[in-house]
Structure 1
Amino acid sequence: MKFSLKTLLGAAGIALGLATSAASAADIPDELRIGYQKYGTLVILKERGVLEERFADRGIKVRWTEFPAGPQMLEALNVGSVDFGTVGETPPVFAQAADADLVYVAHQPPAPTAEAIIVHKDSPIKTVADLKGKRVALNKGSNVHFLLVRALEDAGLSIRDIRPAYLPPADARAAFERGSVDAWVIWDPFLAAAEDALEARTLRNGSGLVNNHEFYIAARPLAEKYPHIVKEIVEELQELDRWAIDNPRAIAKTLAPSTGLAEDVIYVAATRANYGARYLSDEVIEQQQTIADTFSDLKLIPKKLDIPSVVWKP
């Protein structure tokens, strides 16, 4: 049977079109699963619906899941139920030590005053050194874990000189209110809420001790298979941050309903945050390596970590 050149070229075109279509379909995920906490840039992104709008024409569904803190969110990422999320400095260290298949994607600028060790306003505890032998509440593996370690070191103590009470924020606040713990290490907006409602006194915040970066973390399979999708998420975060820098009142209005806190409380937290998502520099990678080495030396994680090996290169 003979075929004309026109017929052969037509068939080749159809085959090429089908192959391109199949490749295009394989180049996008069916669903993007994002983990978020009650407070932060991802909540604003969720409320604005910009990711849904951006990915709608490609049929990518965006599913949002709320978590009480970073460690719980990264546990979900580790078992494959979350693709992307935001956490503080310490949760990804603990997650990597537990062999979570994650990568650091981007970070926000330092916000050291957005976390602190607090005590009751009439507490006899006046300095971090006074915490020796005291019961201190914190969320294990969260960003404030490193703040506590550094503050104790700066005061000539170690984590072994106190009695840690590992509690999530809601339980920690309850323990703090009833006096079951002597101090609480916590981040915004829970920090701002405690200052407002409980008149809590700051014993030491992160200034001069920690950077308190917020990190955007992705499951490695998402970042490696769909790098363009990850880049688009970062682009939307950068666009959001450009707006957020000059609009703390608008941030407060947006986030107050999701947190259940007064707008004035969220406004205080928003002014202590820092905006401007960017990819990780060598300096930031080195800072994360220092945190990982610190926890390894203290035997709080079971092994040494190599932070550069889990940094995504866009």
Structure 2
Amino acid sequence: MKSLRRHTITALLAAIAASTLSLAAPVAFAQDKPKVIRISYSSSGTGGRPLTGGTSIATAHQQGVLEKEFAKDGIKIQWTFNPGAGPATNEQLANGLADFAHHGDLPIIIGRSTGLKTKILLSYTRFGPAYITGPIDSPAKSLEDLKGKRLAVFKGTASQLALGRILKKHGLTERDFKTVSMDGDTLRAAIATKDVDGGFIAPFDLEARGVGKVIYSTGPDPELTSQGVFWVSEDFEKKYPDIVQRVVTALVKVTAWSSEEKNREAQYKLWSNSGTSYYEYQKTFADVPLKWRLSPLLDEYFVENLKKSVVQAKEFRLIRRDVSLEGWLAPKYLNTALKELKLEGYWPEFNAAGKPKTTQVAQN
């Protein structure tokens, strides 16, 4: 009798345990995906409007690519466009408010130097020209002509590092100028009102308005160009690696569309919703094939340029600590996306000097 009672109690306890596990299982499964994916974009449109252009990530946002990818999962995509650019994105990451981000090379280096934990997933720009623009009636014809005068750049952003490279090439530093920090909207207004003598910004919209002119241009110089990255926070990557893969695959797919020369005009029109004109995108993207300019690859050029950026950031006293690339890049997601989408070899790889490793050249 006692044996039967013990058997009955044991069976009852086992049934209760199984029932408890079955009820808990859906909860555990639900935690395998986030309710929202938070993406910070280190820029904004004119006047702070919540969209921008110039990258395939901006194209993905305007086309709703990630929203469509995760709609069936009930996962919301939350975009934050930062007029405060890269420094604002670093602040969001530090406060646990960003899962992924579009970031320039200097601010992500600054973030890593202060202990922010990210994984670099792909690149989104390279070989872009840089400009110093002045008021329409400026007598300046070179950087040297601006020595001792008011020169504006958005400090803490990729523009400041690019400016440092340009000045070094000409034997100059920021200390040779009265350097002030301004965001894009403020700088355009300051050039129009002649409150600065020059600024690190594209000239074409200002020229079209009759208020600005180019003083200096780099052209697509691989030694001077900035490059941008798209990253995921280490915490998010550890929790949701499958979600990270889907984000990367979706972005690589739209980057292939963005890289097609036949889509140039459609893409410029899309980007011009940001408030920057079609004409300015047409001019600033004119000299480089889209497959070069918008390449997502973490190739030899990307890695060596990032190493150089770290060294120069310290040389220009923009960071204090050394920054290691060890464990920072996570190319497996990009490599998987390229394989799944049959895009291996679609974008040419570049060597450390910024030269194509093969003879593949996209038609402009």
TM-score, scaled to structure 2: 0.74
- State the shift of 1:20 in Å: 5.6
Hey, what does 1:126 align to over in structure 2? 141
Indicate conservation of the 8 Å contact 2:133/2:212, yes or no: no
Indicate conservation of the 8 Å contact 1:151/1:204, yes or no: no
Hey, what does 2:229 align to over in structure 1? 215
Higher CA-based Rg: 2
Point out the more displaced range, 268-277 or 292-301: 268-277
Hey, what does 1:34 align to over in structure 2? 39
- Where structure 1 has 5 or more consecutive residues not aligned to the other structure, the ranges are none
Hey, what does 1:227 align to over in structure 2? 241
Is residue 136 of structure 1 aligned with residue 173 of structure 2? no
Hey, what does 1:291 align to over in structure 2? 309
Cα distance between partner residues in 2 of 1:122 and 1:217: 42
Q: Secondary structure at the match of 1:193?
A: helix
Q: Secondary structure at the match of 1:268?
A: helix
Hey, what does 1:201 align to over in structure 2? 214
Identify if the C-alpha distance between structure 1 residues 192 and 90 changes in structure 2 by more than 3 Å, giving closer, same or farther.
farther
- State the shift of 1:19 in Å: 6.5
Identify if the C-alpha distance between structure 1 residues 136 and 14 changes in structure 2 by more than 3 Å, giving closer, same or farther.
same
Of 156, 170, 173, the match for 1:158: 173
- State the shift of 1:301 in Å: 1.5
Of 296, 311, 320, the match for 1:302: 320
Q: How many pairs were matched up? A: 306
Identify if the C-alpha distance between structure 1 residues 59 and 10 changes in structure 2 by more than 3 Å, giving closer, same or farther.
farther
Is residue 93 of structure 1 aligned with residue 109 of structure 2? yes
- State the shift of 1:206 in Å: 5.5
Identify if the C-alpha distance between structure 1 residues 65 and 199 changes in structure 2 by more than 3 Å, giving closer, same or farther.
same
Indicate conservation of the 8 Å contact 1:118/1:183, yes or no: yes
Identify if the C-alpha distance between structure 1 residues 204 and 255 changes in structure 2 by more than 3 Å, giving closer, same or farther.
closer
Cα distance between partner residues in 1 of 2:255 and 2:15: 49
- Give the percent of matched residue pairs that are identical in Structure 1 and Structure 2: 26
After superposition, the C-alpha distances for 1:242-293 in whole angstroms (9 at most, x for unaligned) are 1112312111222222x12443334434546622323x33542332122122
Identify if the C-alpha distance between structure 1 residues 229 and 196 changes in structure 2 by more than 3 Å, giving closer, same or farther.
farther
Amino acid in structure 2 at the alignment position of 1:203 = Y
Identify if the C-alpha distance between structure 1 residues 263 and 152 changes in structure 2 by more than 3 Å, giving closer, same or farther.
closer
Is residue 43 of structure 1 aligned with residue 43 of structure 2? no
Identify if the C-alpha distance between structure 1 residues 256 and 87 changes in structure 2 by more than 3 Å, giving closer, same or farther.
same
Indicate conservation of the 8 Å contact 2:268/2:282, yes or no: yes
Cα distance between partner residues in 2 of 1:71 and 1:191: 24
Cα distance between partner residues in 2 of 1:79 and 1:191: 36
Hey, what does 1:149 align to over in structure 2? 164
RMSD: 2.9
- State the shift of 1:81 in Å: 1.4
Hey, what does 2:82 align to over in structure 1? 67
- State the shift of 1:107 in Å: 0.3
Cα distance between partner residues in 2 of 1:237 and 1:175: 36
- State the shift of 1:123 in Å: 2.3
Cα distance between partner residues in 2 of 1:196 and 1:105: 37
Cα distance between partner residues in 2 of 1:131 and 1:307: 36
- State the shift of 1:88 in Å: 1.9
Of 280, 295, 303, the match for 1:276: 295
Identify if the C-alpha distance between structure 1 residues 291 and 172 changes in structure 2 by more than 3 Å, giving closer, same or farther.
same
Indicate conservation of the 8 Å contact 1:117/1:204, yes or no: yes
Cα distance between partner residues in 1 of 2:32 and 2:267: 34
Identify if the C-alpha distance between structure 1 residues 169 and 21 changes in structure 2 by more than 3 Å, giving closer, same or farther.
same
- Where structure 2 has 5 or more consecutive residues not aligned to the other structure, the ranges are 44-51, 333-364
Indicate conservation of the 8 Å contact 2:204/2:279, yes or no: no
After superposition, the C-alpha distances for 1:94-114 in whole angstroms (9 at most, x for unaligned) are 22233323232210252322x
Indicate conservation of the 8 Å contact 2:140/2:215, yes or no: no
Hey, what does 2:275 align to over in structure 1? 260
Q: Secondary structure at the match of 2:185?
A: helix
TM-score, scaled to structure 1: 0.85
Query: Within 5 A, what are the aligned runs for 1:169-180?
Result: 169-180=184-195
Cα distance between partner residues in 2 of 1:148 and 1:10: 70
Amino acid in structure 2 at the alignment position of 1:299 = R
- State the shift of 1:131 in Å: 2.9
Cα distance between partner residues in 2 of 1:196 and 1:77: 38
